[in-house]
Structure 1
Amino acid sequence: MSGNAIARAWRRLAPLPAGRWLFSRLVCFKAPYFASVKPCFAVLEPGRAEVTLRKRRAVLNHLGTVHAIAMCNIAELAAGTMTDVSLPATHRWIPKGMRVEYLKKAETDLRAIATGTVPRDWGDGGAWPVEVAIVDRAGAVVMRATIDMWISRRKAG
């Protein structure tokens, strides 16, 4: 799915009963690795995405808290889909790097909130930092990430 296809699917499915769940499954069908954390999209728009992750046995570490890599997975998923719907059809993206800070134990369900300032003109592209906060049910930030997206023009043809 291209960014425009993702945005169209979101607009069509999100308002429906179980539409956000179905949209989340479609994204995971396209990028199967993310299915391991069973994400569910809550918000998806240019400059912002919110993805939830339920605390369940499959994502726990030896301490009984949500595993750090599970949090990285939803951070990258939120950042990537938000980037997709933020770009014009003339551009594409790929993650270039990720910096992560683990701030406290993740003991509840989580929400990844990805944000980025969408420029008016993407020009030829370049680095675009996407900030992601992973928050617990109380709203406390348990992890913070900056994901550097590399934006470039699509090749003609």
Structure 2
Amino acid sequence: MKRICTTVNIFTITSLSAFIFASTTNLLLVQTVTAQPVQTKKQVNQPIPFNSRVRIYPANNSLPASRLMTIESVIKKSSKMQITEAKLTTYNEFAAKTGLYKSSISNNRMVWIITGFVQGELRMSKGRSVCTDNAKLVEVTDAETGDSFGRSIYCPPNNQINFM
């Protein structure tokens, strides 16, 4: 009888071990088959969005005149032309006349509009001639910072140089 008990105990221990082994193997197999691969993100140098370097110019039409550039300092920046008009106005007034709106500039931003003529040949920064004589320039300058918002060049008929 003792032998039967020992055989039953061995059989029970062996069965239990086999059951645990089979269950663990089955569990590991199921986890391996159903597991999703771990995705690691590579560090990629993302390009800097173009708009992130654009400076935003908020409204400043409520600033006192002492915080804005004087007409003398604006004219000094435009020394190469004979000035016919210098006007302090809002960007909205300028944009309404020209149709040139920039989303980075508030409509209530104060700007100087400088209009004048350049006698003789007008050359651009790379030495390229644009107009042979009497070019009309319109410059738009931020009244608070002095930053240039652009320049338009108009040549009288027969004075234009065509590069095409």
TM-score, scaled relative to structure 1: 0.29
Which has the bigger relative contact order, CA under 8 A and spacing at least 6? 1
Q: Structure 1 or 2: larger strand share?
A: 1
User: Rg larger in 1 or in 2?
Assistant: 2
